[in-house]
Structures are given as C-alpha cells and as structure tokens.
C-alpha cells in the first residue's frame, strides 16, 4: 500500500564513547534533542549527561580518544561526574517519554546514528531503544546520496561541520544539516505550507492492531474500513449529483475508470 504521511517525532541522540569496540568500550557522554516531524525543536535545552568513569577505564582508551577527549575536557568531566550509566539511562528515557508518550512511534535520528544505536541497545540503555521505533533516520545516508546524485551547487552549500566531537554540538549540527537537505531535496527550496488534516489512517510498519469503534482490528482491516468509508462517501456524493444508476448514466460499479474508489 502507498506510504502515508508521518507526524511522529524524531529523537536525536549523539554519544561520545571510549572507543568503538562494543565488547569493552562504553558511553562517556550523550546529548538528546527531540524534534517534531518537521524538525522543529520541542525543547531547546535538550538532555545532556556525562557518565562517571574510573581512571583505569579512561587509561584503556586508544590514542585518538585519549587525545580528543582530553582536548575537549570530556575525560576530566567523566572523572568528576557522579552519574552512573543506569541513572543516565533512566533520565534519558524519562526525557524522551515527556515528548514521545507513545511507544514505538518516534524514530532515533542522527549522523551515522547506527553506531550510537549499537551502544544504546546494550544495557543499561536497552529500555530507551525499546521505547523507540525499530527504524532510524540517518542524516549520513541522505548526505551520501547527495554526494552521488545531487547537483554540485547543492553540495557546496551544505552546512559545514566543526568536527568538535562533543555530543551537544554534534547533534545540533545534525539537525541543522537535516533541515538543509529537507529544504533542497524535499521542498524544492521552499518553506512548507500548512497541511490539512488527513482522514486516512496512518499504519506503522510494526503496528499490530488498533481500535475502530469498540473493536480491535488489524492494520489491513483499518485500511479496508477507511477506504470503504471514503468510497461510500464518494459514491453517495456522485449519486446526489445525478451520476448514479437512477440517472440513466453508467453505474459506478460497471465503470472501469472508477474501480479504484475503494482501494
């Protein structure tokens, strides 16, 4: 079936880690912002936390992380922090639920966000990922498509990145980059106009059932019911205007050009 417009929010998360080895490395800091589907911030403060690490854990970092996190001050912040990963996971989930009260609706978003997700699906962050949809919105994927298929002029105007490797700065840059690609690729450079509310039911890929009236139905049945209702309304309107069987004109049921009314 055709895709429907999604109005669900996006949860933007960036993590700084001691490395990229899932078997031994850990999240040092993270920052989260939530936007609506049109990339408007729902809260301009966001959630940010630094997780406590011992000197021994930090001494085990590779050369790049040792230099980078030492330069930004993150290493010192981890030593001074009194928050453990369990506390941060709980606070992060509470922050997300404040703006995304429906489970499995909001998508995780960011740049190369699959790498962040790889750490966040592990304990103690697992409940956070279980609250979000299984799909992700990766700005890097749009960027890579642009580098291959977009006009050079568009590439030249794409937002610059500071490469600070600081969670807050990085995730805000990702949101700004997404806004640019949204404008040039999906809006033809124009600002979006307000859309009328759609009467079609949005069915997510992982939906199991919803409620119509007082009974539970499967996604396919929702589509059939909504489609049938629209078709009945259309048929009644046409008959009222003299296009029904009583008018002496071709009946809609036999009119091949209108067979898609109930689809």
Domain assignment present for residue 181? The answer is yes
Per-residue pLDDT averaged across 81-105, rounded?
98
Share of the chain above pLDDT 70, in %: 71
What is the SS3 string spanning the chain?
A: CCCCCCCCCEEEEEEEECCCCCCCCCEEEEEEEEECCCCCECCCCCEEEECCCCHHHHHCCCHHHHHHHHHHCHHHHHHHCCCCHHHHHHHHHHHHHHHCCCCCCCEEEECCHHHHHHHHCCCCCHHHHHHCCCCEEEHHHHHHHHHHHCCHHHHHCCCCCCCCCCHHHHHHHHHHHHHHHHHHHHCCCCCCCCCCCCCCCCCCCCCCCEEECCEEECHHHHHHHHHHHHHHHHHHHHHHCCCCHHHCCCCHHHCHHHHHHHC
What gap in Å lies between CA 82 and CA 52, rounded to an integer?
6
> Domain ends where: 186, 219, 246?
186
Other beta carbons less than 10 A from residue 82's beta carbon: 7
Per-residue pLDDT averaged across 210-218, rounded?
38
Domain assignment present for residue 79? The answer is yes
- When pLDDT is cut at 50, 70 and 90, the band that residue 78 belongs to is very high
pLDDT digits (tens, 9 = 90+) for 154-201: 999 998 877 778 999 999 999 999 999 999 999 876 665 655 544 444
Q: Please indicate, yes or no, whether residues 45 and 148 belong to a single structural domain of this protein.
A: yes
- When pLDDT is cut at 50, 70 and 90, the band that residue 125 belongs to is very high
Q: Please indicate, yes or no, whether residues 111 and 154 belong to a single structural domain of this protein.
A: yes
Domain assignment present for residue 222? The answer is yes
Overall domain count for the chain = 2
Range of the domain at 169: 10-186
Residue 227: predicted pLDDT: 44
Q: Please indicate, yes or no, whether residues 182 and 215 belong to a single structural domain of this protein.
A: no
Per-residue pLDDT averaged across 92-103, rounded?
98
> Domain ends where: 186, 203, 226?
186
Residue 2: predicted pLDDT: 82
Q: Please indicate, yes or no, whether residues 131 and 248 belong to a single structural domain of this protein.
A: no
208 versus 12: the higher-pLDDT residue is 12
- When pLDDT is cut at 50, 70 and 90, the band that residue 42 belongs to is very high
Q: What is the largest CA-CA distance in the chain?
A: 88
Q: Please indicate, yes or no, whether residues 110 and 224 belong to a single structural domain of this protein.
A: no
Q: Please indicate, yes or no, whether residues 179 and 243 belong to a single structural domain of this protein.
A: no
CATH of the domain at 34: 3.30.420.10
pLDDT for 60 beyond 90? yes
Q: Please indicate, yes or no, whether residues 104 and 224 belong to a single structural domain of this protein.
A: no
Domain assignment present for residue 1? The answer is no
Q: Please indicate, yes or no, whether residues 47 and 130 belong to a single structural domain of this protein.
A: yes
Q: Which pTM was predicted?
A: 0.73
> Domain ends where: 169, 186, 203?
186
């Amino acid at each position: 079936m055709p895709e429907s417009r999604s109005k669900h929010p996006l949860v933007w998360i960036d993590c700084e880690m001691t490395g990229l080895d899932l078997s031994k490395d850990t999240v040092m800091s993270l920052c989260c912002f939530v936007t609506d589907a049109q990339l408007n911030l729902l809260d301009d403060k966001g959630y940010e936390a630094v997780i406590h690490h011992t000197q021994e854990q930090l001494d085990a970092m590779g050369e790049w992380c040792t230099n980078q996190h030492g330069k930004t001050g993150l290493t010192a912040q981890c030593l001074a922090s009194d928050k453990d990963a369990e506390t941060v996971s709980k606070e992060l989930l509470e922050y997300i639920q404040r703006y995304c009260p429906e489970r499995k609706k909001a998508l995780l978003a960011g740049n190369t966000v699959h790498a962040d997700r790889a750490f966040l699906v592990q304990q103690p962050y697992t409940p956070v990922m279980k609250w979000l949809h299984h799909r992700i919105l990766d700005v890097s994927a749009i960027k890579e498509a642009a580098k291959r298929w977009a006009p050079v002029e568009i590439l030249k105007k794409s937002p610059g990145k500071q490469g600070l490797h600081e969670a807050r700065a990085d995730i805000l840059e990702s949101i700004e980059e997404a806004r640019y690609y949204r404008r040039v690729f999906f809006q033809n450079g124009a600002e979006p106009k307000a859309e009328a509310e759609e009467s079609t039911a949005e069915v997510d890929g992982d939906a199991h059932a919803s409620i119509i009236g007082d009974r539970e139905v499967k996604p396919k049945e929702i589509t059939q019911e909504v489609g049938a209702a629209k078709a009945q309304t259309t048929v009644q309107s046409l008959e009222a205007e003299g296009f029904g069987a009583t008018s002496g004109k071709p009946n809609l049921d036999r009119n091949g050009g209108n067979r898609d009314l109930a689809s």
